[in-house]
């Protein structure tokens, strides 16, 4: 299998070209390839495939390091766009519709290493995550081993819980991340973001990802944190979200508008396994 190793602010990927033939390995094989000691090592496997939706140019698939599929990957879609640009099949400064497992997104390659993406409108409907809650709200109380924890919940094509915290270095977060990610009220699991609001234009964020654990960055996590805090009126429409691996700019003008994410995409090496 030939592959391209890429990353988006430290969230790392193996990108495979399945435009001619889809060769999906079983989940155990994906997990073996993701192993950082005995495989290639990656947070997500991304495939590039022919689009199923005729309104889109290409489809991309997303699998976590444990082999589980996901509906979306924010850092990944920028890498897929940069990969397609390097292949010469999409142009710069041009809107291109790509099909993710959760539906179409629009990408625009700004430079060989920088991409902006229309990620669609944040979806706060609990059943769409799915999240077990009687009605939509900007905050929910989650019982975590007898302790109430306040979360926001939103889908960016994949499910996110966002917790506002005063200290990203709090050692309790190491345990809280995996516990929220596997909480029974999220039937399919959830990506858990810990957000520290620095000011109206800046959020600092750490994400424990469903299926991949703590990552250096999560693009949809950055979108989710900005959307949840914006909905509570705490940040501006344009906000920089800083993760351990780097910074993304998120722009969302509220309900009825789609959300834009802008950031880098980097090539690391080509390989064959
Ligand atoms: N790292 C990604 C998200 C990947 C999928 C996620 N772990 C899930 O299971 O939904 C991003 O940049 O958005």
Is residue 149 exposed (0-12), middle (13-18) or buried (19+ Cβ within 10 Å)?
Answer: middle
* Statement to judge: residues 87 and 133 lie in one domain: no
Same-domain check for residues 73 and 171? no
**Full-prediction pTM beyond 0.90?**
yes
pLDDT band with cut points at 50, 70 and 90 for residue 167: very high
* pLDDT one-digit tens code per residue, 255-266: 999 999 999 999
Round the average pLDDT of the chain to a whole number and report it. 98
pLDDT on residue 29 = 98
Are residues 232 and 144 both part of a single domain?
yes
The residue-averaged pLDDT of 177-187 equals 98
Q: What is 37-75 written as a DSSP string?
A: TTS---SEEEEEEE-SSTT-SEEEEEEETTS-EES--HH
Q: Is 79 an annotated catalytic residue? A: no
Whether 85 and 58 share a structural domain: yes
Domains: count for the chain: 2
Are residue 130 and residue 179 in the same domain, yes or no?
yes
Q: What confidence score (pLDDT) does residue 222 get?
A: 99
> CA-to-CA distance for 118 and 220, rounded, in angstroms?
12
Mutation pick for ligand 1 pocket among 76, 102, 153, 157 (CB with most ligand atoms within 8 Å): 76
Dump pLDDT digits (tens) for 135-157. Answer: 999 999 999 999 999 999 999 99
Predicted local distance difference test score (pLDDT) of residue 10? 98
Q: What is the ipTM of this complex?
A: 0.99
**Confidence (pLDDT) at 37:** 98
pLDDT score for 82: 98
Q: Mark whether 191 and 130 lie in a shared domain.
A: yes
The answer to whether 188 and 130 have CB atoms below 8 angstroms apart is yes
Structural domain boundaries enclosing 111 = 2-120+264-272
Tens digit of each residue's pLDDT (9 = 90 or more) over 62-115: 999 999 999 999 999 999 999 999 999 999 999 999 999 999 999 999 999 999
- pLDDT of the residue at 228: 98
Residues with CB under 6 A from ligand 1: 11, 43-44, 62, 64, 70, 73-76, 158, 191, 209-212, 215, 218-220
Residues 111 and 166 in one domain: no
> What pLDDT does 181 receive?
98
Question: Is there a catalytic annotation at residue 218?
Answer: yes
Shared domain check, 144 and 74: no
Q: What is the pLDDT of residue 144?
A: 97
Q: What is the mean pLDDT of residues 4-22?
A: 97
Mean pLDDT along residues 228-242 = 98
Annotated binding site for substrate: 11, 44, 64, 74-75, 158, 191, 209-210, 219-220
Q: What is the CATH number of the domain that holds 90?
A: 3.10.310.10
């Amino acid at each position: 299998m030939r592959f391209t190793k890429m990353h988006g602010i430290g969230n790392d990927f193996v990108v495979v070209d399945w435009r001619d033939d889809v060769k999906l390995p079983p989940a155990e094989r994906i997990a073996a390839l993701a192993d950082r000691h005995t495989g290639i090592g990656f947070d997500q496997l991304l495939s590039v495939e022919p689009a199923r939706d005729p309104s889109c140019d290409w489809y991309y698939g997303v699998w976590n390091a444990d082999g589980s599929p996901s509906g979306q990957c924010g850092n990944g879609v920028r890498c897929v766009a940069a990969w397609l640009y390097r292949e010469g099949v999409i142009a710069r400064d041009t809107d291109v519709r790509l099909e993710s497992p959760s539906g179409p997104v629009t990408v625009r390659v700004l430079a060989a290493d920088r991409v902006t993406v229309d990620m669609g409108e944040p979806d706060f409907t609990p059943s769409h995550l799915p999240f077990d809650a009687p009605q939509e709200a900007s905050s929910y109380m989650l019982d975590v081993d007898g302790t109430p924890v306040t979360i926001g919940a939103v889908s960016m094509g994949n499910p996110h819980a966002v917790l506002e915290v005063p200290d990203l270095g709090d050692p309790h977060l190491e345990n809280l991340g995996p516990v929220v990610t596997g909480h029974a009220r999220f039937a399919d699991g959830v990506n858990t973001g810990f957000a520290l609001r620095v000011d109206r234009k800046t959020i600092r964020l750490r994400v424990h990802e469903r299926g991949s654990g703590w990552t250096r960055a999560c693009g949809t996590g950055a979108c989710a944190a900005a959307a949840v805090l914006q909905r509570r009126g705490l940040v501006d429409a344009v906000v920089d979200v800083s993760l351990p691996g780097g910074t993304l700019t998120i722009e969302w003008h509220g309900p009825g508008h789609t959300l834009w994410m802008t950031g880098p995409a980097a090539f690391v090496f080509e390989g064959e396994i």
